[in-house]
Structure 1
Amino acid sequence: MSTTPNAAASGQNSGSARLLQRQLMEMKRAKDLPGISVGLVKDTNIFEWEVMLMINDDCKYYGGAYFRAYMTFPAEYPLMPPKLVFQTPVPFHPNIYPSGELCISILHPPEEDRYGYESASERWSPVQTPETILVSVISLFSEPNDESPANLDAAKLLRAEREGGPKEFRKRVRKCVRESLGED
């Protein structure tokens, strides 16, 4: 008995949906995920999650912040990575494109990096989960990666500040935090 391509895709899709449903429920029940809240954008679509990240005062995003993002999972999940896109206001961050899309190694497809910057072990692997992704994102707010920036302006300002230059990065981040809190 042969399986048609559509039937195979449908089977993968339903397997992905069951996995995502289980992972969503686990995250909602987890008591050890401070600063992370997840839900569905629409109750009828398990492949699109709304994420709220509450960044604490102890990181570079001085004064704490609330950032909303959408995490969209492909039908091939967990074999292929989801995409995480911050909604307005988009955080001023070296690893977030001005469009809001997050750039982090673990969300890059599981293939050789054509530029040779990342090893295959740093890229997407099916052992990653929405929880590990979001914990990595929270950590990226504490320690931005300016080595391979998505936002060149943010990376340049961060480097200059680390080298004793003007506190322009901090100033832009504070503005971003105020916007996220509805103060601007």
Structure 2
Amino acid sequence: MSELQSALLLKKQLAELNKNPVEGFSAGLIDDSDIYRWEVLLIGPPDTLYEGGFFKAHIYFPKEYPLRPPKMKFITEIWHPNIEKNGDVCISILHEPGDDKWGYEKACERWLPIHTVETIMISVISMLADPNDQSPANVDAAKEWRENFPEFKRKVARCVRRSQEEML
């Protein structure tokens, strides 16, 4: 797929999200002149520890999109087993297509060209509600999730509070 085709596809997806917003997040460009760099605002899902939070993240699309997955990075601090301390999101559908050399993921769980920003964000929202502590990106958060849940909850609550203050 040519660079022009990937840019057209991303413009189409952005227009669709603006026309028909999806509950739980909003999306736009970081810089209006670069269709490959998006900013999303994810609202902490109801009935989760992240409820009430406003978490900004950036999505960086490769020129080969949709054949290759984008990368996603939270800009707002967030404590979660599947989000690295630097904000990088580690979720199966953002992993390069094909077989996992370590055998943790099936090829069908990884990136497929049919994924869109909407399907990525729905997966990330689902991940917030239900962390995978068996394949953590943040080992400390996963260990806390399993062994000291009250401390995990306290750290998440602090992140939610800070995210709310940043929105003011």
Q: Aligning the two structures, in what range does the TM-score lie when normalised by the shorter sequence?
A: over 0.9
CA contact (8 A) 2:48 2:129 kept: yes
| 2:109 is the alignment partner of 1:119 | no
Give CA deviations for 1:50-89 in whole Å, capped at 9, x if unaligned: 100011341122x4200001001000000000000010x3
- CA–CA distance in 2 between the matches of 1:174 and 1:57? 14
> Where in structure 2 are the equivalents of 1:14-29 lying within 5 Å?
14-29=4-19
Letter in 1 for 2:135: S
- CA–CA distance in 2 between the matches of 1:159 and 1:46? 40
- CA–CA distance in 2 between the matches of 1:71 and 1:97? 15
Unaligned residue ranges in structure 2 (runs of 5+): none
Q: Which has the larger radius of gyration?
A: 1
TM-score for both structures, normalised by structure 1 = 0.86
Alignment-derived partner of residue 6 in structure 1: none
- CA–CA distance in 2 between the matches of 1:57 and 1:77? 31
- CA–CA distance in 2 between the matches of 1:56 and 1:85? 18
CA contact (8 A) 2:45 2:129 kept: no
Letter in 2 for 1:39: G
Alignment-derived partner of residue 176 in structure 1: 159
| 2:36 is the alignment partner of 1:47 | yes
- CA–CA distance in 2 between the matches of 1:96 and 1:152? 10
Give CA deviations for 1:87-128 in whole Å, capped at 9, x if unaligned: 0x3210000001110000000000221111111111000011
- CA–CA distance in 2 between the matches of 1:106 and 1:178? 29
Unaligned residue ranges in structure 1 (runs of 5+): 1-10
Alignment-derived partner of residue 24 in structure 2: 35
| 2:58 is the alignment partner of 1:70 | yes
- CA–CA distance in 2 between the matches of 1:60 and 1:180? 13
> Where in structure 2 are the equivalents of 1:135-154 lying within 5 Å?
135-154=122-141
CA contact (8 A) 2:98 2:110 kept: yes
Counterpart of 1:182 in 2: which secondary structure? helix
Pick one of 52, 55, 59 that aligns with 2:48: 59
Letter in 2 for 1:103: C
TM-score for both structures, normalised by structure 2 = 0.94
CA RMSD of aligned residues (A): 1.3
- CA–CA distance in 2 between the matches of 1:56 and 1:150? 21
Counterpart of 2:165 in 1: which secondary structure? coil
- CA–CA distance in 2 between the matches of 1:117 and 1:60? 26
Instruction: State the 1:39 CA deviation.
Output: 0.4
Aligned residues: 166
Alignment-derived partner of residue 109 in structure 1: 96
Percent identity of the aligned residues? 49
- CA–CA distance in 1 between the matches of 2:46 and 2:67? 35
